[in-house]
Chains A and B, each alone.
Chain A
Amino acid sequence: MSLHTLELPDYREQAPEVSARFKRIRERPVVLSVKGLRKDFGSNGETHTVFDEVSLDIHRREFVTIIGPSGCGKSTFIRIVAGLDDASGGEILLDGKAIHGPGPDRGMVFQGYTLFPWQTVKQNVMFGLEMRGKAWNTAESEARQWLEMVGLSKFENSYPHELSGGMKQRVAIARALANEPRILIMDEPFGALDALTRCKMQSYLLQIWKKVDVTILFITHDLDEAVLLSDRIMVLGVNPGGVREVIENPVPRPRSVAQMLSPEFLSVKHRLDELIHGPVTEQEEERLPVIKLTEAGDEVE
């Protein structure tokens, strides 16, 4: 069964409470402002533009997801925002000020956990606090609070290698949030987790985001994840690289997994699918040159 067989509403249609919510978000101050960002990669004198003219304003406590096919530069984009890569053009403003290199005002959660293996869970969370010059005692009690929030108080003296993937990522989130960043950048944070853990982590993240004053910029290649979590979804494309569309997600909050079969959810997902993979019809589907190797009459379909 494909999505085409369902009668779906237009993804741009918003229920009154949803559009009211977007109106409220737009009234909030802009935290991160990306203006005309361009990134070129050069090799042997040839330059290849990954994306150009990417502009995006993210408001306080908004949840924005970037999605796109591989090679669209979504990781490059947020690495530039985090200050880990340089842009080839355009500018990035955080609270109206241009950014210079990486800093604690933009927390980052990586796909590969990147916890410090030589430190216990608690010491990992304390790291940023100590870097900002907080006294050890203050840092410790704050770290404990953050660990309690992600439900890992019992593991404060464990080493990262003793934790499961989902727990490691919760520590990484606590570590990034402990710095009270203006924006939390998440680069496919749940990409390495199994489907069940991933589902749990998405609900954890929504709970955390509700409780903490933080703006989130999230990257994923999972359509469901994008629709389930975000307020707005920015779709990047390849050849030419750049923004395809910024979608205001019509799925009302509070979100839950039960909404994944609602018409709004499916309509957004369908639109994302179109933007990323292009409209697919039966005839266009690529046929593999497979020779029939099974016995006649032994069909699976």
Chain B
Amino acid sequence: MAKSDWLGLKSELPPRRRLTLIVLSFVVPIALWSSVSYVPWLWHPNIRISVPGDVDYFVEDMELPRVDFQRELEKVREAGGTMPEGVRVNPIYLPPPHKVARAFYTAFTTEPRLPNEPWLHESLGVSIRTILWGFILSSLAGVPLGILCGTYRFFSRLQEPFVEFFRYLPAPAFGALCVAVLGIDAGPKIAIIFIGTFFQQVLVIANTVRKVDPALIEAAQTLGARGWKLVRRVVIPASVSDIYTDMRILLGWAWTYLIVAEVVGTMSGITYFINQQARYRNFDNVYAAIFMIGIIGLTSDMVLAGIGKVIFPWKRRTRSGRKSILEWMQEPGSAWRKEPPNPRAAAALAAKA
């Protein structure tokens, strides 16, 4: 195939190339990070002292900027004496990939320093609980309201202008208020996630419901459906799989509100962990914890996408909305897909067996 096909306008790539690109999308940033970490002449702005020499304030393992080290080196050279020695290192806040990778394990096994400090898995548990409660409470109110607004002009006109206004108010701005009303524990944190999610949710879902093909509604009307039955049997099922996709996106947004939410009141969850580890200067743990949020988010999205495929079988071919990595891999003809791409071939195979 010609090289220009890599950049074919809107045309799908063959499975092997697609897989290469999926892998590259992760490999390229990791390779950049690795080269800055492991190639000594790339960046490495500091010196870690290995031999203090005759500089009075130098001690072993001390780190200082290269220019300062050079200056001291010159001074010692002029005065005569034991020369200090050191190696070029990156600042402590940029640990190399292997240390962060190790921290994925060690962060879970390191005993907390303070007696009442939670373990990492406990912190993660608190964060996930906060997210879920915030998201569930928001969905309980937001999904029905969104469907009402999308279906009936009455509710749309009555609710949406205010919701539209409210969604511009930054959720963290309500932090102090939430603490005053709900105390300092889990309450205000869940409330922040609720505020951050709910108003977007109503508008996004209303919009999705409004996009239901009017021809389907007309067809249902000529078949005798009307009123609430029309909503329950046509409007909701016609939009439910797109609402599901919306919810996946909204859950991602809820995660982005997590950190600000956990600062409100007493700091808790993964935010507390990150903060403490940064204080102890365990930056490998800090990175590991941040990446864990990403991994949890990505995994849950892939799981939800997989569940979506099972519960919405009619969407398997006519897909709309956002794709997860899982779906990118499962495109027809993908190397990751197990079953043959067309049903006839599948039937033929079955017949042979």
**Which residue of A has the minimal Cβ distance to B220?**
A127
CB 8 Å contact bits of A107-133 with B (1 = contact, 0 = none): 110101010111100000001101110
- Asked if B314 and A117 make an inter-chain contact with CB atoms under 8 angstroms apart, the answer reads yes
CB 8 Å contact bits of B225-261 with A (1 = contact, 0 = none): 1000100011001101100000000000000000000
- A159 neighbours in B (Cβ, 8 Å): 313-314
- B225 neighbours in A (Cβ, 8 Å): 127, 131
- Asked if A112 and B215 make an inter-chain contact with CB atoms under 8 angstroms apart, the answer reads yes
A15: Cβ under 8 A from any B Cβ: no
A242: Cβ under 8 A from any B Cβ: no
- Asked if B223 and A104 make an inter-chain contact with CB atoms under 8 angstroms apart, the answer reads yes
A80 vs B74: C-alpha distance when bound (angstroms): 96
A98: Cβ under 8 A from any B Cβ: no
- Asked if A118 and B314 make an inter-chain contact with CB atoms under 8 angstroms apart, the answer reads yes
- Asked if A116 and B222 make an inter-chain contact with CB atoms under 8 angstroms apart, the answer reads no
Give residues of chain B (182-227) contacting chain A, Cβ–Cβ below 8 Å.
Answer: 213, 215-216, 218-225
A114 vs B213: C-alpha distance when bound (angstroms): 9
Chain B residues bordering chain A, tally (CB within 8 A):
24
- A205 neighbours in B (Cβ, 8 Å): none
Inter-chain contact count A-B, CB under 8 Å? 74
Question: Which among A128, A161, A162 is the interface contact of B223 at CB below 8 angstroms?
Answer: A128
- Asked if A82 and B222 make an inter-chain contact with CB atoms under 8 angstroms apart, the answer reads yes
Question: Which among A112, A118, A160 is the interface contact of B237 at CB below 8 angstroms?
Answer: A118
- Asked if B224 and A131 make an inter-chain contact with CB atoms under 8 angstroms apart, the answer reads yes
CB 8 Å contact bits of A162-178 with B (1 = contact, 0 = none): 10000000000001100
A176 vs B317: C-alpha distance when bound (angstroms): 26
A182: Cβ under 8 A from any B Cβ: no
- A118 neighbours in B (Cβ, 8 Å): 237-238, 240-241, 312, 314
A108 vs B225: C-alpha distance when bound (angstroms): 13
A106: Cβ under 8 A from any B Cβ: yes
Q: Which of A104, A110, A118, A119 has the most CB of B within 10 A?
A: A118
Give residues of chain A (53-107) contacting chain B, Cβ–Cβ below 8 Å.
Answer: 82-84, 101-104, 106-107
- A83 neighbours in B (Cβ, 8 Å): 221-222
A179: Cβ under 8 A from any B Cβ: yes
B343: Cβ under 8 A from any A Cβ: yes
- A130 neighbours in B (Cβ, 8 Å): 233
A272 vs B180: C-alpha distance when bound (angstroms): 80
A82 vs B221: C-alpha distance when bound (angstroms): 9
- Asked if B241 and A103 make an inter-chain contact with CB atoms under 8 angstroms apart, the answer reads no
Nearest CB of A to B208, in Å: 15
Give residues of chain A (16-50) contacting chain B, Cβ–Cβ below 8 Å.
Answer: none
A112 vs B216: C-alpha distance when bound (angstroms): 10
Nearest CB of B to A273, in Å: 31
Nearest CB of A to B103, in Å: 46
- Asked if A162 and B343 make an inter-chain contact with CB atoms under 8 angstroms apart, the answer reads yes
Known: A84-B218, A117-B314. 10 other contacts (CB 8 A): A104-B224, A107-B222, A114-B216, A116-B216, A116-B238, A117-B318, A118-B312, A118-B314, A119-B314, A162-B343
A sample of 26 cross-chain residue pairs with beta-carbon separation below 8 angstroms, ordered by A number, consists of A84-B218, A84-B222, A102-B221, A102-B222, A104-B222, A104-B223, A104-B224, A108-B218, A114-B215, A116-B216, A116-B220, A116-B237, A116-B238, A117-B314, A118-B237, A118-B312, A118-B314, A119-B237, A119-B314, A127-B225, A128-B223, A131-B220, A131-B224, A176-B222, A176-B223, A179-B224
Residues of A whose CB lies within 8 Å of any CB of B are: 82-84, 101-104, 106-108, 110, 112, 114, 116-119, 127-128, 130-132, 159-162, 175-176, 179, 185
Q: Which 8 A-B pairs have the closest CB atoms?
A: A104-B224, A128-B223, A114-B219, A102-B221, A108-B222, A131-B224, A159-B314, A118-B237
